[in-house]
Structure 1
Amino acid sequence: MVDKLKVPQLRAIASPDRSTAIKARESWHVLGIISEFIEATEALADIRPAVSVFGSARIKPGEFWYEETVKLSRKLSDAGFAVISGGGPGIMEAANKGAFGGKSASVGLNMQLPHEQHNNPYQDVSLTFRHFFARKVAFAKYATAFVAMPGGWGTLDELLEVLTLIQTRVGRTIPVILMGTSYWKGLLDWMRDVQAAQGTIAPSDLDLIRLIDEPDAVVEAVFDFYQHRGFYATTEERELNLNL
């Protein structure tokens, strides 16, 4: 029989000095997190309206979804929307590249990672984060709409974070668009046929999502959503954003 790891008693601190040092390090770490929120607020508060674009870091220039993202972001930029991406390669680079050549700001929320991420050169505003959650707050808080291009787990993480904020009314309701029927239809079918059917989400939750294939249709969908209310957050919505 293998001996189980013995859990130390809470009262039995072997080294009070070491414990104090660990707490001090953690406290300074918290201050670093706060500084990321402050930097994002100061850099992004006046960049409105903006569309956050998510997608895979692994899609290469010349591939279909890379070029579609460049087209989409250029159209959004020329229509007056800043474009916010993760600042790295792949779809993130394509989003910044399209916006960089347009009329509005190209924003990169870069992430320090041990692999994969390098900052792309198409950014008017560039921020670097060490913490995923601080970066996700920036994606959500300053966006007028969200567009998810084909992507992996990081894209799903960002998409589901946004949907959860809207569903729970912690964040304001804004357009959530999935671009690419062939890529996303299976996920939406599963949400409807399994989650909604078994009652783990409400059928009406699926109304939060638009499935679109053409860049022009994405821009039109964003304008249609705001046709009768304007792009800027109401007082109530600004209060909601303080919860993020």
Structure 2
Amino acid sequence: MADHVSGDDGRATTPRPERQRGATRLRGGHVGSSTTDQRLLDSRGPTDWVHTDPWRVLRIQSEFVEGFGTLADLGSAIAVFGSARTPAGHPQYELGVQVGRRLAEEGFAVITGGGPGAMEAANRGANEAGGTSVGLGIELPFEQGLNTYVDIGIDFRYFFVRKTMFVKYSQGFVVLPGGFGTLDELFEALTLVQTRKVTSFPIALLGVDYWGGLIDWLRTTMLDDGKIAAKDLAMMTLTDDVEEAVSLMVASRQA
């Protein structure tokens, strides 16, 4: 389509090119040589754009949408954390199986990082008890992927998206012995509870011998130095008793 421009004598002169682009009308030199669909479907050209921040934003958005869409109808759930390095048959592995089983028997879905070790143990306990076993995996250069006991699995590229899913869809955390990743999730939850970003969120540490030293340090160093308050330590329950940990989760659901 073209637009005719009139000269001084009122007669039409050479028509200017014209194009509609979405809601925008372009004329003259602003009309391009290709359409939006053509540029979309043309696979030629540089591919650097897939590594730009605007493209990453869309990728991050898609992970949130996928996570929310998959977990929205999950119901009551508890996240269980622990080391990927815990071998099957180890007492800590068996502890994870017990936790997953008991949570499932109480009607909770069990959410883990979906990996091996303690995560596999909790997923296994929930799966074998007929409960819902969820794994939120993360892209890592050395991770083996989701364990075979996961019923609903989502793989994430970004840690912060994955961590949001843990907190949004869990009503509490049970923390088995673990390493840096476990500590990261633990202190993320503690910070959110301390700052009242989440409420009624119980946190149980399973393994008195393992976690006792950390609690002592928090009490004798951070608390004594005024960096935290006494009530902050009360956000965690330290125990060796699976039933106590599960009861804490049940009581929070009923509150």
Cα RMSD, aligned residues only: 1.4
Question: Counterpart of 2:128 in structure 1: which amino acid?
Answer: G
Query: What SS is found at the alignment partner of 2:78?
Result: strand
* Match of residue 106, structure 2, among 65, 73, 79: 79
1:65 to 77, 80, 92: 92
Q: Distance in 1 between matches of 2:243 and 2:165?
A: 26
**Aligned 8 A contact 1:80 1:103 in 2:** no
Q: Which has the higher contact order (CA 8 A, sep 6+)?
A: 1
- Do the aligned residues in 2 keep the contact of 1:53 with 1:149 (CA within 8 Å)? yes
Superimposed CA distance per residue, residues 187-236 of structure 1 (whole angstroms, 9 cap, x where no aligned partner): 01111111111111111101100011121221112223344x2xxxxxxx
- Give structure 1 regions of 4+ aligned residues with deviation exceeding 4 angstroms: 21-24
Name 1:99's counterpart in structure 2: 126
Q: Is the aligned partner of 1:151 residue 2:163? A: no
Q: How does 1:126-137 map onto structure 2 within 5 Å?
A: 126-137=153-164
Q: TM-score, normalised by structure 2?
A: 0.78
Structure 2 Cα separation of the partners of residues 81 and 30 of structure 1: 33
**Per-residue CA shift, 1:126-179, capped at 9, x if unaligned?**
000011111111111111110110000000000000110110111223110000
Q: Following the alignment from structure 1 to structure 2, what is the Cα–Cα distance between the partners of residues 110 and 180?
A: 24
Corresponding position of 1:48: 75
What is the distance in 1 between the residues matched to 2:138 and 2:209?
Answer: 29
Name the SS of the counterpart of 1:137 in structure 2. helix
Q: Matched residue of 2:234: which SS?
A: helix
Unaligned runs of 5+ residues in structure 1 are 1-20, 230-244
Percent identity, aligned pairs only, is 47
Task: Determine the C-alpha separation between the residues in 2 that align with 1:118 and 1:223.
Answer: 30
Quick one: distance in 2 between partners of 1:150 and 1:24? 37
- 8 Å Cα contact 2:49-2:55 kept in structure 1: no
> Match of 1:199, as an amino acid?
G
Bigger radius of gyration, 1 or 2?
Answer: 2
2 CA distance for matches of 1:41 and 1:187? 34
Q: Give the structure 2 partner of residue 7 of structure 1.
A: none
Secondary structure of the residue that 1:87 maps to in structure 2?
Answer: coil
Post-superposition offset of 1:30: 1.1
SS of 1:177's equivalent?
strand
Q: How many residues of Structure 1 are paired with residues of Structure 2 in the alignment?
A: 208
CA distance in 2, matches of 1:161, 1:225: 19
**In 1, Cα distance between equivalents of 2:76 and 2:114:** 18
Deviation at 1:23, TM superposition (A): 9.4
Alpha carbons 2:76, 2:107 under 8 Å: kept: yes
Counterpart of 2:124 in structure 1: which amino acid?
K
Distance in 1 (alpha carbons) for counterparts of 2:165 and 2:199: 14
Verify the 8 A CA contact 1:55 1:92 in the aligned structure 2: yes
- 1:194 aligned onto 2:216: no
Instruction: Identify unmatched segments of 5+ residues in structure 2.
Output: 1-47
1:77 deviates by: 0.5
Deviations 1:79-126 (Å, cap 9, x if unpaired)? 100000000100111111111112321000011100134210111110
Shift of 1:66: 0.4
